[in-house]
Amino acid sequence: MKLDDILQIFVVKEKKFFPLFVQSAENIKKGAEHLVKLTLEEDFDHRDSLSRRIQEYENEEDEVTTKIMNELLDSYVTPFDRDDVHDLALALDTVMDNIRDSAKKIAIYQPKGVEPKLTEISQLLVDAADKFIEMTSKFDNIRKNSEAIDDICNQVREIEHNTDDIYASFMSHLFKEEKDTVELIKKKNIVQALEDTCDSAKVVSDLVRSILVKMS
């Protein structure tokens, strides 16, 4: 076998990671979109149904993460540092896990009414997922696309900052206006789970930026 043929095998193997990262980002978007619907739903049974659907997306995400890990074990060549491939796969999986945790809290606690700011944060998670899809779609030529990817990372960080502002506003209003202690605790735990999810999205952008620095 010629050297060019051998190198081509390695290149093909390396590129197998890219669609898996995109698929991971797409699963996160599906979960986040259903989370938005969940925050707008007042019917308890419908909340349970939406929560179960998000669980299905989490299961799909677990399968994608497993595929990435298996490819990692089976590959001599990776698109970037092996540890970074591992950490990025887990970071994306953590975002999906946190979306599922937020959904579970809404389904279990069954808070009264609809809180618009919870929907705002959930929509920001959809926005972050869109950025993940855009970002991972550029991994096939990560060096050439480094500036564009870095700009996307900044946009994800900005989304996280906006979430912090909404979170602070919601908490201030909650402790000032909510007179039902049980409802206060429910909503406090839900918004905290949503805020944690946005924090985990920022971790993804920080990891990608670290990868760009190492490759520069």
- The pLDDT, as a whole number, for residue 178 is 92
Q: Check whether 195 has a pLDDT greater than 90.
A: yes
Q: Check whether 53 has a pLDDT greater than 70.
A: yes
Q: Which whole number is the average pLDDT over 145-161?
A: 96
Contacts of 193 (CB under 8 A, 6+ apart): 98, 101, 102, 105
Residue at token pair 């406090």: 188
Which percentage of the chain shows pLDDT scores above 70?
94
- The pLDDT, as a whole number, for residue 183 is 96
- What is the rounded distance in angstroms from the CA atom of residue 163 to the CA atom of residue 191? 10
- The pLDDT, as a whole number, for residue 216 is 76
Q: Check whether 64 has a pLDDT greater than 90.
A: yes
Q: Which domain holds residue 162?
A: 3-215
- The pLDDT, as a whole number, for residue 92 is 98
Q: What b-and-e string marks burial along 45-75, b requiring 16 or more CB atoms within 10 Å of the CB?
A: eebbebbebbeebbebbeebbebbeebeeeb
- What is the rounded distance in angstroms from the CA atom of residue 144 to the CA atom of residue 210? 16
Number of domains composing the chain: 1
- Say which CATH number the domain at 22 has: 1.20.58.220
Angstrom CA distances, 55 to 65, 69, 104, 198, stand at: 15, 21, 9, 18
Residue 11: band (very low, low, confident or very high) from pLDDT cuts 50, 70, 90: very low
